[in-house]
Structure 1
């Protein structure tokens, strides 16, 4: 059975006179924050849990999240470090090109990139995780946020050639990389705290995983209007995870060829608005909206909400539990004007 919804296109959008500023302090829903605190008797059992993956650990899971802008231009593929990210957000920048915000907390990438420039809506998502934000360059609105001290950040504009290194096998702007050791060095230079875990997502327990219901969804297709940025996810029954493809090329690690394997795919609709003649846009992450949550080869319709700055799926008025592991979030427009569609079977 195939289910499809599409967001149709119109080639012109109203730009003049439209304010794109959003309330940086949206109404928040209460949620648990106890994922990194357990009783002493539980520590021996490894019941600390990483807040963004739900994976157990015997050690404290209180490290601060790092959010890195990752280039998704065809000339930047394959990328480095995506397999280590707990959550990756994919959304449009300009000219129908998508870009990634990779959030790291349970694992630290030895190297990540290519690193690309900031947009204000990516910055706001990173803020929701209380993360240190890493980018190379910025749009005018993103620059204002970063210069204001809105979020702790390291930017390649200031540290090109020092904290950020250029590779010789690719051409700028597709060749800027940063290592985790450089992030630690930069954080120390700027007196950023490297502890303070983000709020935890909710996760399914073993019983709930066995009883997980939903419509069949072994193959997922997300279109951004161009084959170069169209995504496909294929469920691998043997591994119990989704593999990801863009333009029919599997998403893998650049140096090792390791597959990007995912436990949760969340596709949400959000309001997009073009804000200038260059084609920059604003994406509203405060209003909530429709979404689809794919897990274990199945799909359920959800509503997403902004909870303390995080995008969180809800079902029947309750936070939807995630499968412990890695999550990818595709964000597509909720109205005519820009390409975006989802289908699955």
Structure 2
């Protein structure tokens, strides 16, 4: 009888231990499954529960006067404007918080465009490539789709413009390309950008309500920004014409305008450039109707504004980043008035 009681006691202890272990495991699984998802868009600092964790896409957009107005710039979180050849600039638009229905005109890649796409963990879209960019794309360093291989299928030509100013791609076809290339659709990176919250105000050196950014002497590539104190946004024009969306006529408005000075070198007879995006340099930050002299540098390839050795906060919203040559330099390329 005594042995029976001892056996029952042992079984009871084992049962209690088993139940307790199961409860601990269940609690751990709940903690893992309820881990807070990313809820703030990594490149705008705005609340965005539904899209904050999805893969960025990055598209090369034509900025030749014959390609204006463009389609899809309104939705871009960040637009980089850089010289493609001579003094002709091209846009590299980053989309994450909003995906546009259609983007274009799509234009050819440069190696420094590919470098940026790799740093931002973006699915890269271009139509054509420079020799150096092609080597990088063929090496498979980034997920991408290119109009050279898909002209007339995933990429469509508009009838109202002539090549190379008429190549477009829809978001539907971008998703098809991502499926075909088995591209991971989540955001795997870590954004280094910081943003002010509603209780903070930007640190500014002086007022700057009107901004002008130039590339050489071509007036068609003179960019003007005007600050609206009511919306707290900058409107933009290029060559004296407001920058709007071709499809909706909606104007492009941004919260931050950054100008980064970088070393440029002409590398061939077609005026193509090599741009140093790793060494950092002088910079200007325009936000909230003011300006601040800062520097820029890169964090794991991502271009960030720096002051006193720390990353400078941006205002929540969209950002336009100009990369200008060290010659003639930022002082001649940029002017502003109170």
Q: Name the TM-score class by shorter chain.
A: 0.7 to 0.9
Per the alignment, residue 125 of structure 2 pairs with 134
* SS class of match (2:178): helix
The number of aligned residues is 304
Give the Å deviation of 1:81. Answer: 0.2
Quote how far apart the aligned CAs of 1:321 are. Answer: 0.4
Match of 2:155 in 1: 164
| Correspondence 1:112-261 to 2 at 5 A | 112-200=103-191, 201-209=193-201, 212-225=203-216, 226-261=218-253
CA 1:340/1:160 → structure 2, altered by over 3 Å: closer, same or farther? farther
CA distance 1:168–1:90, change in 2 (3 Å): same
Establish whether residue 343 from structure 1 lines up as the match of residue 335 from structure 2.
yes
**Which stretch of structure 1 is more off in the superposition, 235-244 or 81-90?**
235-244
Residue-by-residue CA offset, 1:213-247 (whole Å, 9 max, x unaligned): 33111000001021011100000112110000001
Q: How does 1:274-293 map to 2 (within 5 A)?
A: 274-293=266-285
Superposition RMSD in Å: 2.0
Aligned residues of 1:89 and 1:330 also touching (Cα < 8 A)? yes
Quote how far apart the aligned CAs of 1:271 are.
0.3
Residues 51, 96 of structure 2: 8 Å contact kept: no
Query: Which is richer in helix?
Result: 2
Q: Determine the C-alpha separation between the residues in 2 that align with 1:336 and 1:329.
A: 18
How far has the Cα of 1:285 moved from its partner?
0.3
How far off its partner does 1:59 sit?
A: 3.2
Higher RCO (Cα < 8 Å, 6 or more apart):
1
1:52–1:338 Cα change, 3 Å: closer
Q: CA deviation at 1:42?
A: 7.2
